[in-house]
Structure 1
């Protein structure tokens, strides 16, 4: 590709937000849009079959497979950080859970100095993106590109989980994106016709024929190009060759909570001391780049249950899976339409809290270590996820090599409040599993480890907990000294460059982050279109005034 290629907009990263931005901007036939994605096209069959999540997350299939640095809060263990490496990004390999977040999550953003980001202000963008097959009310969208529904072929243990929650004294929550985000309920998923509805399928696939939308895959961005303080182009590697393209209007960085800060740092945008350490010329000293890394820490506990309605490793289980494969191939129904996470609950560890601080999730299989460790037989797992961790870490460069992975340090469980809350989360797992609804199936704990006292529970949690795949905050939005972008997602102190992905979240939301990242993409596209219209109006005004000056009265 020669260096004279120019587009109006270049979107760097084809993840959940990048697909939205590229799809929305290309609705205007007068502008040209190029989307760069480091991974390949979203053509792998495991992407579209929902159960493929169980194969992709623990392997290198469409997956960056990042690692953290050793985590002091996890007894020095190195954590695993799977991220999507294909069109759709992590929305193409994740569990497809559709959760927006509690209203206070977004009101908190607005209170931190980000006008336009309160719950009432972001709700229209959630609704614009959504087509909900099950709910049609003022809180849900219809006719949006992102299809949302309950499971096509729900596993019966989802209802067992909900009943157990009621027996344990918790409320029901039939719509976890409705008026109340507390209690036990079935999971809504991003699926359509029994297949994954990733951001790529929602925003790119229907629009691939647009002549003004250009998509480059296997294009690994290595450096943003600047003319002074204005971003003007992007350098990237593709099939072993260095390529360059330029943008007339803007570059939109949508490479995720790891990729976006890494590319800024490689391009000379970030803390000057870190850049100079790697002999990177400083374009703009911006101390917050890579800081404020926050992620959900999650503990998984498994139980054996003698039921083939649960996924498992057994001879009969293999036969069941083969039959399920035939059913899926013929009808797009059956067990392989499951994302394994069939139901979940948002619960409070104290009634004084304004919103849930623990998410409990049911997985219809026994596993540990992100599915890299499996147990023989059949059973289920319950997750306890810390929704509002106080621990915060950072992302830094390992070297100036743009193809090297960054150093990822979420600082899991380094704040004492986090481990205390997660201990309470485990106790809720134990409480739910002791209800008659589950006792009827005679569950057997797979761990042969004492977990009676808080000290014993803490040791197990620190030995076995890890990410629930929701890193955010490394290019946070705000007005303080550590903010990287402003409330319109423009990189502070620079021109022609925005960031639009989960990295801009100033605080983590209390649920999965995909739906909110799609919302961020929708808002970013609106910001860009508004600014383009404003610039066009200003240009027209200037032209009119210039013309008038040559025709005096």
Structure 2
């Protein structure tokens, strides 16, 4: 079924009727339970549901995605801080001058892909090769991932058969008819020695950096969320049940095997069983929270909260990473800016230190004022060029505050805790000022609002005071082979059979650039692995397209899959 066909009133009515029938049929048992309908969970649910012989339950704690603030690319910021945002806040930090940083995260069908800025960023070649090295699995390497991206994308730009695909489920295009400010920024980047590219996800993501117009998840002037493109077209099928306002509060673990989940639905706690596997796709904050609530994590932490230990995995909630930007850099415009596309149409990746091998800074041109205001001009007459860290060294933690699943999680983000991160971001601010105050952007620059010509300690203080998240939390249930790893190369939770994780929490380190596209790859990769494992279990052969995982830790899961 094409996307256009799903827009018809008849199809929408069929979805409503089918989902009502599915719920009326009961929620006792399914083959697969996917927790979280975001950028990874939506992919996994779709791919599993493509097999009519299996039943799939997709659970989402938030509500639907029917709102102008979701569909209209110009309104994406209206979702931040509202009902479609989990509204997490990190602990006050001395590294941010005592501030508590808000950490928005998508809540509702589509997750972050329904409220984000719609930027599609593939991740640098070295990111994926690092994943392969950490896991010992070539299937996570760049060459393998390129093949996945070609299958995922319906690319609407210049042909690049090696790196871009056409005809996939997800539409990707270069920002159409961009604001002249965006093209001026590219010229300004070139003036300081940053090469420009036609495609930020082509050769640019294999080298030392560059500047380009952004790839955006927009088609026909409407946002393309992962849920709308992957799950909605199959919601009329009898083997897929999608529940909103369904908060997963606990994984049902019996004798080191996940047997389903406990869900808070309509103010009642119900248990739903999974005959085969349960997949967590709740994001880098809620996934470790649910694991800890279910007894999977550091034994000492669980003991403090009176939670029975199911498996000692000290890495759960550790390794928290996020892209952080200096959000206060702004310039006054001679005239009001008429918004276009997603209002973030141009970007560059570059190195804060010439001795680095790959970019560690990403700057985004933001064509709306946010908090930047020239005292002598209306708020609508300003713009930003915001540098952010894409290779942060700082690491934080996620820990419980109590045993009740409804209690808040404690987030010690530790943004800018590492002095190297501060130094890199200071250099990023200096670079953005050089570009924005240069000749190419002069027609759009009525004067710098902030930070001005600060140096030394004053500039560092500005960076700490204006630092803000780019909403790319990752790493808190990382895959790998060391003692702090939570999942193996096939995303199976160590020590707990029939339980896998697919979201940004499994990243050993956060990818370079926006994380939506890598999360889609994570979902696709898990779907491929699960299909291969099912085939291998039936035939007696373990199907795998990369290097073998640790046999001793993997065997309980394979045995369980064989029974499934």
8 Å CA contact retained: 1:152, 1:194: no
Q: Distance in 1 between matches of 2:499 and 2:532?
A: 15
1:426 equivalent in alignment to 2:450: no
Q: Secondary structure at the match of 1:205?
A: helix
| Deviation of the 1:163 alpha carbon | 1.2
Q: Distance in 1 between matches of 2:60 and 2:222?
A: 22
Q: Distance in 2 between matches of 1:206 and 1:46?
A: 21
1:306 equivalent in alignment to 2:334: yes
Q: Distance in 1 between matches of 2:98 and 2:492?
A: 37
1:493 equivalent in alignment to 2:495: yes
What's 2:458 paired with?
A: 456
Q: Distance in 2 between matches of 1:378 and 1:29?
A: 54
1:471 equivalent in alignment to 2:499: no
1:78 equivalent in alignment to 2:127: no
| Deviation of the 1:112 alpha carbon | 1.8
Q: 2:278 is matched with which residue: 241, 251, 258?
A: 251
What's 1:218 paired with?
A: 245
What's 2:123 paired with?
A: 101
- Equivalent positions of 1:37-436 (< 5 A) are 37-57=60-80, 59-115=81-137, 116-137=139-160, 138-181=162-205, 182-300=209-327, 301-310=329-338, 335=340, 338-368=341-371, 376-436=379-439
CA 375–15 in structure 1, closer or farther in 2 if over 3 Å, else same: farther
What's 1:325 paired with?
A: none
Q: Distance in 2 between matches of 1:409 and 1:132?
A: 39
| Deviation of the 1:190 alpha carbon | 0.8
| Deviation of the 1:86 alpha carbon | 0.6
| Deviation of the 1:158 alpha carbon | 0.9
8 Å CA contact retained: 2:135, 2:488: no
1:32 equivalent in alignment to 2:55: yes
8 Å CA contact retained: 1:129, 1:146: yes
Larger displacement relative to structure 2 (145-154 or 514-523):
145-154
| Deviation of the 1:76 alpha carbon | 1.4
Q: Secondary structure at the match of 1:367?
A: coil
Aligned residues: 508
| Deviation of the 1:3 alpha carbon | 8.4
| Deviation of the 1:26 alpha carbon | 0.6
Q: Secondary structure at the match of 2:149?
A: helix
CA 343–450 in structure 1, closer or farther in 2 if over 3 Å, else same: closer
Q: Secondary structure at the match of 1:249?
A: strand
1:10 equivalent in alignment to 2:45: no
8 Å CA contact retained: 1:349, 1:358: yes
Gaps of 5+ in 1: 312-334, 540-553
Gaps of 5+ in 2: 1-22, 542-564
RMSD after superposition: 1.7
Q: Distance in 1 between matches of 2:446 and 2:309?
A: 58
TM-score of the aligned structures, taking structure 2 as reference length: 0.87
CA 368–405 in structure 1, closer or farther in 2 if over 3 Å, else same: farther
| Deviation of the 1:183 alpha carbon | 1.3
| Deviation of the 1:505 alpha carbon | 0.2
What's 1:318 paired with?
A: none
